[in-house]
């Protein structure tokens, strides 16, 4: 549990510094220790959104919503992921 908290806090610190790739890696390490903790998934989804990795963000939010079907952050971030995917699709169609 201590290792998990420590990794999560490191991830949170990276987010505050705008280092989203590093933060996502810390949250991924957290998931190896606990797959049921929804906050690390919504946090990693935030990182993926900042990195324009919309499919990955959507996947994390889907996972959270299977565990907590009323998680507001997961709904919101999944909506942002869908929006990003739509914009990308539209841009690809224009090429």
Sketch the domain layout of the chain as residue ranges.
Answer: 1-93
Of 91 and 65, which is predicted with more confidence?
Answer: 65
Using an 8 Å Cβ cutoff, are 63 and 28 in contact?
A: no
88: pLDDT confidence band, cut at 50, 70 and 90? Answer: confident
What CA–CA distances, in Å, run from 83 to 25, 52, 58, 80? Answer: 24, 11, 10, 5
pLDDT tens string 24-71? 999 999 999 999 999 999 999 999 999 999 999 999 999 999 999 999
CATH class of 1-93: mainly alpha
């Amino acid at each position: 549990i201590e290792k998990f908290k420590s990794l999560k806090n490191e991830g949170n610190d990276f987010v505050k510094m705008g280092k989203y790739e590093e933060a996502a890696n810390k949250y991924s390490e957290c998931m190896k220790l606990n797959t049921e903790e929804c906050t690390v998934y919504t946090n990693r989804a935030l990182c993926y959104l900042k990195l324009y990795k919309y499919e990955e963000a959507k996947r994390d939010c889907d996972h959270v919503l299977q565990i907590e079907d009323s998680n507001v952050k997961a709904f919101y971030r999944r909506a942002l992921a869908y929006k990003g995917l739509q914009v990308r699709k539209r841009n690809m169609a224009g090429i």
